[in-house]
Amino acid sequence: MIVVSKEELNDKWWICYNNDKSIVHYGKTDAPQQTETGLPLNQVFDDEASWLSLLFNDFNIVPE
């Protein structure tokens, strides 16, 4: 599944996870790169602040 396509013109931050949230992948994709995942659920963000907020509040993750 493509999370961020290479046609995207802006940088994107993303979170991908499985149904019970026991596996979580997250990161930033710089335009015009593409990110793909095999995880079934994902959220894509236009700004880093929203991404950081959800990572902390829903997954208790603070990226380094």
Domain that holds residue 53: 2-59
Helix (H) or strand (E) holding 57: helix 48-59
8 Å CB contact between 11 and 30:
yes
Q: What is the pLDDT of residue 2?
A: 78
Quote the tokens at residue 20.
């019970």
Residue 26 forms part of a structural domain:
yes
Domains contained in the chain, number = 1
Residue 20 forms part of a structural domain:
yes
Other CB atoms within a 10 A radius of the CB of residue 16 amount to 21
Q: Look at residues 18, 2, 9, 21 and name the one whose alpha carbon lies nearest to residue 46.
A: 9
Q: What is the pLDDT of residue 47?
A: 97
> For the chain (length 64 residues), average pLDDT per consecutive 10?
87 96 96 94 96 97 91
Residue 22 forms part of a structural domain:
yes
Residue 19 forms part of a structural domain:
yes
